[in-house]
Amino acid sequence: MTDWMYMQEKPSEQLAQLHYFSFIKQQQDAAIPFHITVREFAAPPPGQHLRFFAEADKAVNQKTASFVPCGWGNSLYSALGDCLRLIRQFPYEGELPPPGP
């Protein structure tokens, strides 16, 4: 446990360190950028047993059942991995970025 975690006095404060990742989904000749934030909680939030939560910045599967890819885990690796798996598995059906140079 690192020192910052001791700064939380109560679990309801939900103190977390943020980790940022970028990911490019290649789809139909388009490069779709995703930004993923992983929250490393000092203690699992109330009602949760895991300390790491990853969430993408945009939804996928918009035309069928839109949702924002996310993942929980006991480690940064497992939470990020779950989020990336969902980004890869479901199509991005929103506005595509303009083609690069």
What is the count of structural domains for the chain?
1
Q: What residues contact 51, with CB distance under 8 A and at least 6 apart?
A: 40, 41, 42, 43, 44, 74
* Domain that includes residue 44, residue range: 14-89
What mean pLDDT do residues 51-59 have? 97
What pLDDT score was predicted for residue 91? 96
- Spatial CA neighbour of 49 closest among 17, 87, 85, 11: 11
Q: Is residue 76 part of a domain?
A: yes
Question: CA-CA distance, 71 to 95, in Å (whole number)?
Answer: 24
- What is the β-pairing status of strands 70-73 and 52-56? antiparallel
Q: Is residue 54 part of a domain?
A: yes
What mean pLDDT do residues 58-68 have? 96
Largest CA-CA distance found in the chain, in angstroms, rounded: 51
Q: Is residue 58 part of a domain?
A: yes
Q: Is residue 63 part of a domain?
A: yes
Q: Is residue 68 part of a domain?
A: yes
pTM of the model: 0.89
Q: Is residue 66 part of a domain?
A: yes
pLDDT in tens, 7-48: 999 888 999 999 999 999 999 888 999 999 999 999 998 889
pLDDT in tens, 76-98: 999 999 999 999 999 999 887 66
Q: Is residue 5 part of a domain?
A: no
Q: Is residue 96 part of a domain?
A: no
